[in-house]
Structure 1
Amino acid sequence: MFCFCHYNLVMSTSPAAPSTIPRSVYLGGLAIAVGGAVLFSTKAIVAKLLYQYPVDAVTVIAFRMIFSFPVFAVIACWQMRTEPPLSWRDRWQLVGLGLVGYYLSSYFDFLGLQYISVGLERLILFLTPTFVLLISTVYFKHAISRLQWLALLTSYCGIVLVFVHDLQSGASNIVLGSTLVLGSACSYAVYLLGSGELVKRIGATRLVSYAMCVASVACIAQFFILRPVGMLIQPTPVYGWSLVNGIFCTVLPVFMTMIAVERIGAPVASQAGMIGPVSTLFLGAMILDEPITGWQLAGTGLVLAGIYLLSKKK
């Protein structure tokens, strides 16, 4: 699911001017934004730890949703009681967005993580805003400025560096894994474009809670359709890491991002999310013993620079 830690939440809230925010509130909000980005990026680390056990992507994503679904269901029920009912058009749009943005995107992501490093996975997902820009250009005929072209070129050069490095290191199925994660980023980009007007009508909390409930039902149903019920019995660490994946890498980042946006505004919270790929790279080295090379650092720097340039374009 997306790199900028739930970009739709960030962009759907009116930005606050940092100069008008008390320093203590600003620093606290910034810390929450960074923490949310790091937690969301840690999802890839947890997935790699889970793959050490006899589980696959279908099982991992189902267990993730089993633990996060009750939280989003409670929030959705609360929203249903306090907010006016949705039109049938909005309901069907929410179903579609939940399936594309959270189910399909997450499924492709976890499938891809079986084949590539967490560092490369996070960098590819971090390109989501560039895919939003490209899709907008192709289908909505939006013009791309020179600064945006420079941002795109810089980001993709960084991905090529890391991709070639991993390919030369002998990683198996690197092309397959990268393609799957690329599909995840594209799916989430479609979700972002489709949710733009809806989030203005119903609000970010309502959109995310409803869409996550749809995705949770799809992921859990997929498990029972494709896997025997006996696969619910797993080693104890699988339940523990799945709880971490569902609560600390899914639920908490959503609400931390919302709190950060409320405190420090959308632009600052969005740019704080750029810590995600960097944290994933170093966490992968510390926890998974994935090597950090100069090529990876250079590629990460180029991707971050490209996304930063893109974020400067209003």
Structure 2
Amino acid sequence: MQKRAYLLIAAGAVLWGTIGIFVRGFYGFGFSPLQVVTLRVLSAAVLMLVYLLFTRPELLKIRIRDSLYFVGTGIFSLAFFNLCYFTTIRETSIAIAVTLLYTAPAFVAVLSRVFFGENLGVKKLFSLGLTLVGCAFVAGYLPGIGDSLTLSWSGLLTGLGAGFGYALYSIFGKAALEKYHTMTIAAYTFIFASLALLPLGNFENSAGAFSIGAFWVYLAGLGFFPTVLAYLLYTKGLEEVESSRASIVATIEPVVGTLAGFFIFREILTGWQVAGVLLVLVAVVMVQERK
């Protein structure tokens, strides 16, 4: 059962790793990072609502006081980390943004210890260290070797903010699973994020893109594959796996992103990046191993 949970988490992370394909498409239409985030969560909210209304409408029932869970997953996590993440991409590069995003397992490990009393064992800490080093290699950040990458303070802070916001989904999602179904959590995560971002989107200057057929293809793809389906798979996997372990398994995402860049956009994959891919995969295998 736990192996299945790890596979679900990994599958969700693989889908998250494809998001750069869709984001690049929207940037080509002239959308800002804030607008892309808004389109992502809004399309996902519509897809989830339509699906549940026609299949399992009972899953849309929640208690008003439990809205705080979805304020956490939707606004504090999804909306916040996406805004920080896309802003970091604009301020620095995709590689640096992904590396800073995957400081999330460190935040999750600490927060899980505080809120859930999860153990920080030597193996988990070692796996965490491997993932961070692996992500750095994948991004090409190698201090002392060649030209070191430099970050602005704003890029660094938004990058770390993305990692922290990303970590919060595991924490709030784990708490919400005690009361609600996976699909309920995913649906209200997207709904609350949409309510928070829609007033800020300002799509008047980009209205012309809505008449282009390719725009709707990108919108459907962005809303379904790296968003609705990815979050459903990841949240389902959280039912059987510690949130700190789940977040480390999810570091497959930057590996997938790097490979997508190589095969789809013909980006060069260096020897250090290959080493980083292998380190992340080793860490994923290690974190699955049980005593």
- The TM-score range, normalised by the shorter chain, is 0.7 to 0.9
Note the 1:114-133 alignment, pairs <5 A.
114-133=90-109
Whole-angstrom distance in 2 between the partners of 1:306 and 1:177: 27
Give the TM-score normalised by the residue count of structure 1. Answer: 0.72
Q: Is the contact between residue 165 and residue 296 of structure 1 (CA under 8 Å) also seen in structure 2?
A: no
Is structure 2 residue 69 aligned with structure 1 residue 90?
A: no
Indicate whether 1:299 and 2:269 are aligned.
Answer: no
- Residue identity (%): 20
Of the candidates 204, 207, 214, which is equivalent to residue 182 of structure 2? 204
Indicate yes or no: 2:225 matched with 1:248.
yes
Report the counterpart of residue 282 of structure 1 in structure 2: 259
In structure 2, C-alpha distance between the alignment counterparts of 1:298 and 1:88, rounded to whole Å: 48
Report the equivalent of 2:76: 100
Q: Distance in 2 between matches of 1:248 and 1:106?
A: 16
Say what the alpha-carbon RMSD is for the aligned residues: 3.9
Identify the match of residue 186 of structure 1 among 164, 172, 175.
164
Q: Is the aligned partner of 1:38 residue 2:47?
A: no
Instruction: Give 1:231's match in structure 2, choosing from 176, 181, 206.
Output: 206
Matched residues in 2 for 1:278 and 1:194: separation?
25
Deviation of the 1:201 alpha carbon: 1.1
Aligned to 1:218: 196
> Aligned pair in 2 of structure 1 residues 81, 48: CA closer, same or farther (>3 Å)?
closer
Q: Distance in 1 between matches of 2:134 and 2:2?
A: 32
Tell whether the 8 Å contact from 1:147 to 1:313 is kept in structure 2 after alignment.
Answer: no
> How far did residue 122 of structure 1 move?
4.0
**What is the CA–CA distance in structure 2 between the aligned matches of 1:278 and 1:291, rounded to whole Å?**
14
Partner of 2:25: 49
Aligned residue in 2 for 1:110: 86
Q: d(CA) in 2 for partners of 1:187 and 1:305?
A: 25
Gaps of 5+ in 1: 1-15, 19-25
Contact 1:75/1:209 (CA < 8 Å) preserved in 2?
no
TM-aligned CA deviation for residue 32 of structure 1 = 7.7
The residue type paired with residue 152 of structure 1 is L
With over 3 angstroms needed to count, the CA separation of the structure-2 counterparts of 1:176 and 1:281, relative to structure 1, is farther
When residues 125 and 256 of structure 1 are mapped into structure 2, their CA distance, relative to the original with a 3 A threshold, is: same
Q: Higher mean Cα deviation, 156-165 or 191-200?
A: 156-165
Given the superposition, is the C-alpha separation of residues 231 and 138 from structure 1 closer, same or farther in structure 2, using an over 3 Å criterion?
Answer: same
- The TM-score, its normalising length taken from structure 2, stands at 0.76
